Structure 1
Amino acid sequence: MKKVLFATTALIATAGMAAADVKLSGYGRFGLLYNETPGTTGGVADDEVSLTSRFRLNIDGTTTADNGVTFGARVRIQGDSADNGYTNAPAFSAARFYAMSGGLTVAAGNILGAIDSMPYLYHGSVGLTGLGYANVVTDFGADEFDSAGPSRSGVEVIYEADMFTVHASYSDPTSTTVNNQERAAIAGSATFSGYTVALGYQESDFGGDVEFVAIVAGEVGPATVSGAYAQDHAGNDQFNLGLSADVAAATAIQAYFNHDEAAATEESYGIGFTHDIGGGASLRGGVASLNGDTRADLGVLFNF
């Protein structure tokens, strides 16, 4: 009788484990970073050359209900080093919760954000660290998944069907005591014949936030080319041309040119490379000019 009870208990426990799933994923990176105009720490100028590193661990938990709806949540643990040589200990992000059925996803908490999730928004990013990400035409003036510490709370709805995606998001104006301004955004994209077209619009109480974004991307010969345009709520225009291409069996290059009316010198550009060394690891580096400020990096990134 005891054996039957033990066997029944084990079967029930196994069934519960089969219904739920917890996955770990992420990456680590480390290398050298050069900044022609470094900041200051405690009134003392930082070094132009410093070590740079990042550890990122995603924890995803999901379960599927009897009606077929998948419920899930993600939290992230991330730690970075600053260009002043100091290292920030890994910290937990706020959680993103979601329910998913077919092509429909409803999420709440630390949301992805409709604008920041637009396809090819980050295309052309260079180097190990992104070197300031001057190629991102939104200037991060929209809701996004906050990797460390508290974040604005929001809700979002994503619908994907064949070649089309529609993503709407809203962040709660009472989610924090400081950033209590409201954001509401919607973005849509379509992919056909190897080309992607995406449009996004945002209403925001943040004066410098992006208002409108348009992106077109596709394959041109051996390269993938993208063009992105954005306008912020102050009326400043920004456009970016991005490129990525395989130049050898394990080597690819990335490049961008950006024109931003709100920037000091208006123009930024960069070029970088990625070389696959196997096992999910790659050697990466790049150089960029951000409004006349030269930055460069070189190092290794490995996925796990």
Structure 2
Amino acid sequence: MKKVLFATTALIATAGMAAADVKLSGYGRFGIIYNEGATYGRDGLAGTADDVAADDTSITSRFRLNIDGTTTADNGVTFGARVRMEGDSNAAGFTASPTLRAARFYAMSSGLTVAAGNILGAIDSMPYLYHGSVGLTGLGYVNVVSDYGADDFYSVGAARTGMEVIYEADMYSVHASYSDPVTGAVGSQSRAAIAASANFSGYTIALGYQDSEYGPDVEFVAIVAGEVGPATVSLAYAQDHAGNDQYNLAVSADVAAATEIQAYYNYDEGAVTLTGVALDEDSYGVGFTHDIGGGASLRGGVASLNGTTRADLGVLFNF
């Protein structure tokens, strides 16, 4: 009888394990980076009170680990959650996130996803928003017209608590999100956003709108992208809640079997430092990615960010 009970218990446990799944994924990157007139703060941001001078050329690295857990209920609904651990280093030796960040929880079925917690955000998830990003590190990601003035999945710092609903069909997608403020943080107003995209005849059109009382937050984003000959071309426009316009033209193309180049030009009417000092309105950059197999690639780039030069070179490997 005991053997029967043990066998039954083991069978039930095995069935439960079959329905659940835990996966680890992420990437590592390391290389060298050049920042003209570089300064770093202990908070990881330039332009703040605790800045210290740093060498223009230094070692840069990042290790990112995603932990995903999912299970599928009897009715076919998939429930899941993701947490992230990340460690960054720069010239000041700053480690950004040695502990787990807040989790994103979700339920998904038939193209519909409902999520809560550390959400992805409707604006930050728009297709081609990051198109044209150059180099190993993104070199400031000035090509991203939202300027991170919208909700995204936080890898460092205090995450805003939010909810989002995503519906994806063959050619269309709609994404709505809402988040509560981080208590006491700068720009701590709530955010509500909606974005929609459509794909047809090799082209993508995406529109996004966000309601926020914080001036630097993005209010409207429009993106058009598609294949033009051997290249992928995107044009993005954004306006923040202070009325500043931003435009970005990005191009990527394969130049060999394992090599792609990326380039962008960005015009930002509201370009300022964190302390409010006006910057040059033009930015541009060019970079390359060379696949060396096994999920690893050699990457590098150079960019002029509102009048300041940055460059990097190194290896990124996915796992």
| TM-score normalized by the length of structure 2 | 0.92
SS at match of 2:256: coil
1:267 aligns with 2:274: no
Aligned to 2:183: 176
Map 1:49-68 → 2, pairs under 5 A? 49-68=57-76
Whether the 8 Å contact between 1:29 and 1:53 is mirrored in structure 2 is yes
Q: Note if 1:95 corresponds to 2:110.
A: no
Q: 2:115 & 2:264 partners in 1: Cα distance?
A: 33
Point out where structure 1 has 5 or more consecutive residues left out of the alignment: none
Identity across the alignment (%): 79
Moved over 3 A (4+): 40-44, 85-89
Q: Deviations over 1:185-224 (max 9, x none)?
A: 0000000111000000000021111100000000011110
Q: Which segment drifts farther, 43-52 or 278-287?
A: 43-52
Aligned partners of 1:91 and 1:148 also within 8 Å: no
Superposition map of 1:224-263 within 5 A = 224-263=232-271
- Partner residue of 1:46? 54
1:131 Cα shift? 0.2
Q: Does 1:284 align with 2:299?
A: yes
Mapping for residues 34-183 of structure 1, pairs under 5 Å? 34-39=34-39, 44-88=52-96, 90-173=98-181, 175-178=182-185, 180-183=188-191
The answer on whether the counterparts of 1:152 and 1:176 sit within 8 Å (CA) in structure 2 is: no
- Scaled by the length of structure 1, the TM-score of the pair is 0.96
Q: Tell me, yes or no, if structure 1 residue 195 matches structure 2 residue 210.
A: no
Question: Contact 2:221–2:236 (CA<8 Å) still a contact in 1?
Answer: yes
Distance 1:90 1:43, change over 3 A: closer
Give yes or no for contact 2:64–2:85 (8 Å, CA) kept in 1.
Answer: yes
Structure 2: how far apart are the matches of 1:201 and 1:163?
20
Note the alpha carbon deviations across 1:117-156, whole angstroms, 9 max, x for none. Answer: 0000000000000000000001000011001243100000
- TM-superposed CA distance for 1:180, in Å, is 3.4
CA drift of 1:7 comes to 1.9
Gaps of 5+ in 2: 42-49, 272-278
Displacement of 1:9 after TM fit? Answer: 1.6
Q: CA deviation at 1:162?
A: 1.1
Contact 2:96 2:156 survives alignment (8 Å): no
Number of residue-to-residue matches in the alignment: 303
**Shift of residue 88 of structure 1?**
4.0
